[in-house]
Structure 1
């Protein structure tokens, strides 16, 4: 006999009572909120990397020795002069920075954007499935409520 331990058991939602359906609906709403929040955060990260590409492209020979604002944090900038317009220092994560030439830096950020795009596509599919499940669940709840209402109406 095959063991099903560790495997999720499938339950037909139509077999659940209204209070159980309400709990499943609440869980689905929480999952959807979390997934939607994650989607938004990924979109923000993607926009940040696109902004980084634009910043790298601003570093060019025409701007050499010009005063620019250098970001120290996301909200603190100090004036500085561009001396080396061929190389930039990029944040590769967890507080580590490396020097790359402009083409390498753009390629790095483009790969990050593509990675996020793939994750966004996957996440969008998951969100769509959860929304479809939510729609089906709401229909089941409404059907049960109507059945309950018509059943109690016949008893009077």
Structure 2
């Protein structure tokens, strides 16, 4: 992914958040679980050289990604789906999809991380990293 290219269209993300209301976090959790399963199934299908088994998980991931505004992820999933469908019709293995499957896995991880950052105020706070002294070491004590 090129730097500066937004991987989430936050308008669609916020629209889904408004439409789903209190169920939003639960549904987003399903996206995380289903998406991880879809990526694993796509990778397994590639290792098994089975283009038929690429179609359903890539189709599912495409639709769920678009619901939350993850267009680059949806685009890669769609390319995998369409290429797999064509390969099935032609009776061949779509080995040209290997780089796309790698990209899909990376984008899925980046997408989930972006969602987490957006929904969790705790993730936005600066936390001391290992080896750094905490800023307030005298809390509740005098000088």
Tell which has more relative contact order, 1 or 2 (C-alpha 8 A, sep 6+): 1
Query: Under TM normalisation by the shorter chain, which class is it?
Result: 0.3 to 0.5
TM-score, scaled to structure 2:
0.39
Higher strand share: 1
Question: Which of the pair has more CA radius of gyration?
Answer: 1
TM-score, scaled to structure 1:
0.36
